[in-house]
Amino acid sequence: MTEHTQHNGDTPDLVVVGAGLFGLTVAQQAAERAGARVHIIDVRDHIGGNAYSYMDEETGAEIHKYGAHLFHTSNRRVWDYVNRFTSFTGYVHRVYATHDGEVYPLPINLGTINQFFHAHYTPAEARQLIEQQAGELAGTDPANLNDKGIQLIGRPLYEAFIKNYTGKQWQTDPAELPASIIKRLPVRFTYDNRYFKDTWEGLPADGYTAWMERMIADPRITVSLGVDFFDESQPYNKKALRAAGVPIVYTGPIDRYFDYALGDLKWRTVDFKEVRYDEGDHFGCPVMNFSDADVPYTRAIEFKNFNPERRERQNPNRTVVWEEYSRFAGRDDEPYYPINTDADKALYARYAELAAAEHGVVFGGRLGTYQYYDMHQVIDTALKAYDDQVMPLLAHVA
């Protein structure tokens, strides 16, 4: 990424805090539709937020630095928008899980069921079996995740594929987690093991970073990296921008914006352990879940397998795998998934009231709205936020 810098003394028409997909989309729209001069700052040393990727020279794999990112959407506006900046491969995401020394397809489907029970059930027979296996929990509405999982898919499948995986993911006994975390567990009574059901799916043909760079290729958009919005020694800081009345789009943590005045919103984070193998392909798939308690990580990502179309450019003798470990996040950790307990939701609602009163500032993205979003949802909310909130702030731009 070549850093753009603000090369004149003029104050920008809009400052965007955070170079993730929300910020980049708003910046692109502001430059294109309003002719605005936009300056983006980000505390990281790259654009793209958590969707950022880079090439691993040894293996030829495109590494998704913050974990697997897979683009999929059924939203026509979003699909048309992203195709302005990148074409997509024909990649279709499929996940597999290792349980008790055997590999099964996920989400749970007729293939998983018949393999697990060494049977040849028809869809109707499999449906009846799972209803029976819910036992005394059938027809109930349990409050905890453990019982909800059994009620939804029956005890044997739940204990094989969900219970221990979820326990590792949350570092909490599923019997102590709220049922709302899973809401529903998809079971397909066909052999369809495509992970997503969306109309469009794929990976950016030239990689995520090339896509993001094209979004902000407009010369009216400038970028400063390694810049902390709360560092008053640099010009694009909160205090100075608020005093100058410059419109701001803020995509950082909402509680951080208000200096944690009401308390900390809670998140989960992910740690990655890299393992390299002297072979061209270790798992034979991009994502392998590990459902058993005796494996400490939740899943492993083999990045080369996201891009089979690049096989000729990849090293046939080396591959790189990242093992994924989940834990609670502290202030200095990368926030990934909002915990979203009732207490967290209530706390966020109070922060949202403060945000609504912060005139001239638009809060967006995962961190700014305390939401877990897929990429297409971030872009959709950014396009809407530009129309509804940002465009009126730029009415003065000539």
Query: CA angle 151-157-158, nearest 5°?
Result: 55
Let me know if 66 is a catalytic residue. no
Catalytic entry in 52, 299, 370, 386: 299
β partners of residue 225: 42
| CA 120 distance to own-chain centroid | 37
Let me know if 324 is a catalytic residue. yes
β partners of residue 245: none
CA distance 392 to 377: 22
**HSE on the CB side for 220, CA within 13 Å?**
16
Let me know if 374 is a catalytic residue. yes
Let me know if 131 is a catalytic residue. no
Contact 255, 246 (CB under 8 A): no
Catalytic entry in 91, 188, 255, 380: 188
Catalytic entry in 184, 259, 278, 294: 184
Looking up tokens 């093992």 gives: 323
For residue 278, count other CB atoms closer than 10 A to its CB. Answer: 8
Catalytic entry in 276, 372, 387, 388: 372
Catalytic entry in 201, 213, 323, 324: 324
Catalytic entry in 201, 213, 257, 268: 268
**HSE on the CB side for 84, CA within 13 Å?**
15
| CA 347 distance to own-chain centroid | 22
Let me know if 188 is a catalytic residue. yes
Among 317, 342, 23, 329, residue whose Cα is nearest residue 177: 342
Instruction: Indicate the DSSP class of residue 372.
Output: -
Output phi, psi for 112, to 5 deg.
-60, -45
To the nearest 10 degrees (0 to 180), the angle between helices 375-385 and 21-34 is 40
Let me know if 372 is a catalytic residue. yes
Q: Which residues, 6+ apart, have CB-to-CB distance to 27 below 8 Å?
A: 14, 16, 38, 40, 215, 216, 221, 249
Q: List strand residue ranges (DSSP E) for the chain, in order.
A: 14-17, 38-42, 53-55, 62-64, 71-73, 95-99, 102-106, 200-202, 221-225, 248-250, 267-277, 287-290, 299-302, 319-328, 337-338, 361-363
Looking up tokens 């096989």 gives: 311
Catalytic entry in 218, 228, 333, 374: 374
CA distance 150 to 131: 10
Contact 251, 15 (CB under 8 A): no
Contact 390, 249 (CB under 8 A): yes
Catalytic annotation, residues: 184, 188, 268, 299, 324, 372, 374
